[in-house]
Amino acid sequence: MRTRWVLLVVTAMLSGAVGGALLAPAPLGAVAREIIELQRDVALLLQAQRDLQRSVDEKHAVLKTLLEQSLDSFSKLDTTMGSLQKTMQDVQANSGARLDSMATQVQGLADNLEDVKARLSKLNQQLADMQSKVSGGKPGPGAPAPGADSSTSGAAGGGAPPSADVLYSNGLRDITGGRYDLARQEFQDYLKYYPDTDLASNAQFYLGEIFFAQKQYREALGEYDKVLQNYPKSFKLAPARLKRGEALLELGQKAAAIREFREVARRYPGTEEERRARAKLKELGVPATATPAATRPPQPQ
């Protein structure tokens, strides 16, 4: 389409030049030079058009390859996580041992899986934008308008904050490495700059995990409560409620902890959190469900 318009414009220019040459008393040599220059300009424009098309095709192929590689990595990661979860279930069924460390690793894998999904979504958007440019030259949805200054997207007055991916990945790395103060700052920054992302509830949950690891159980309770109150659709609801029960137990509030573990068992059947809650209740020597007052046996006088 663009080539057709270029040819039409150049044809019009050539016609004008020839007409001018016929009407004006300019020397024939000057007219010939102008025609040669116009032909050279046409050739340059056509070559630039071919170069642009080749560049677009190359970028399209690169993005397609990256997307295929990401899909393959996603499939492998999903298989690995399924194997780990099955291993956890088998070990707990056979020995009843505490699997807190392995559960944390699975949570990390689940978070990384969400990160891979987000990256795949970005690659899909880039591929759609490139295809749109090839077909009609119009920017895809979400693309910046021509002339837009990307620097305005940063934090006002103090430079742009790190990207959401960088903050979240650094926080996971530092909490795994036991650098709790640094991880706390990174997750707090994540919630400050990116409070509405899919991983915001994860960052909130890990703030509770940091306080719990540092034996600051009251502060951990507050962070777990924020997960339950602020992110009603988060897949961290079950872990947050389970860890809330563990924090209450550490604070000596046994009755409240029992209620919390029973709530986990009731709300999240078939999950790892349900199994861990039932194991906790068994350790405490109480049933997984409360006995209704009407059916309790009479107490001896």
Cα–Cα dist 19/42, whole Å? 19
CA 136-139-142 angle, 5° bins: 150
pLDDT in tens, 16-52: 655 555 555 556 777 788 888 888 888 888 888 888 8
Span of 85-89, 133-137, 204-208, 238-242 with lowest mean pLDDT? 133-137
pLDDT in tens, 55-91: 888 888 888 888 888 777 777 887 888 777 777 766 5
Q: Are 101 and 94 in contact (CB under 8 A)?
A: no
Answering whether pTM is above 0.75, one says no
Angle, helix 217-230 to helix 237-250, in steps of 10 degrees? 150
Query: Which residues make Cβ contacts (< 8 Å) with residue 243, sequence separation at least 6?
Result: 208, 209, 212, 220, 224
Q: In one letter, which amino acid is 279?
A: A
Q: What percent of the chain has pLDDT over 90?
A: 41
- Higher local confidence (pLDDT), 139 or 237: 237
Angle, helix 28-95 to helix 272-284, in steps of 10 degrees? 30
**Per-residue pLDDT for 169 more than 60?**
yes
In which residue are the tokens 């979504």 written?
121
**Per-residue pLDDT for 142 more than 70?**
no
What does 120-162 look like in DSSP terms, one character per residue? Answer: HHHHHHHHHHHHHHHHTSPPPTTPPPTT--GGGGSBTTTBPPP
Mean pLDDT of 227-249: 96
Neighbour count for residue 198 (Cβ, 10 Å):
16
Cα–Cα dist 24/264, whole Å? 93
Mean pLDDT of 281-297: 74
* pLDDT level of residue 292 (50, 70, 90 thresholds): low
Is residue 202 helix, strand or coil?
helix
pLDDT in tens, 192-221: 999 999 999 999 999 999 999 999 999 999
Structure confidence at residue 160 (pLDDT): 81
Q: In one letter, which amino acid is 199?
A: L
Structure confidence at residue 57 (pLDDT): 84
* pLDDT level of residue 117 (50, 70, 90 thresholds): low
**Per-residue pLDDT for 134 more than 70?**
no
Bridge partners (DSSP) listed for residue 159: 155
Using CA atoms, how far residue 277 sits from 29, 150, 158, 266, 281, in Å, is: 95, 48, 46, 10, 6
Cα–Cα dist 219/258, whole Å? 20
Sign of CA dihedral 218, 219, 220, 226: positive
| 231: alpha, beta or left? (left if phi > 0; alpha if psi -120 to 50) | beta
Helix extents (H) in 136-271: 164-176, 180-193, 200-213, 217-230, 237-250, 254-267
Bridge partners (DSSP) listed for residue 155: 159
**Per-residue pLDDT for 123 more than 70?**
no
- Higher local confidence (pLDDT), 153 or 193: 193
* pLDDT level of residue 229 (50, 70, 90 thresholds): very high
Structure confidence at residue 214 (pLDDT): 96
Residue count (the chain): 301
Is residue 5 helix, strand or coil?
helix
Using CA atoms, how far residue 155 sits from 77, 163, 168, 196, in Å, is: 34, 11, 17, 16
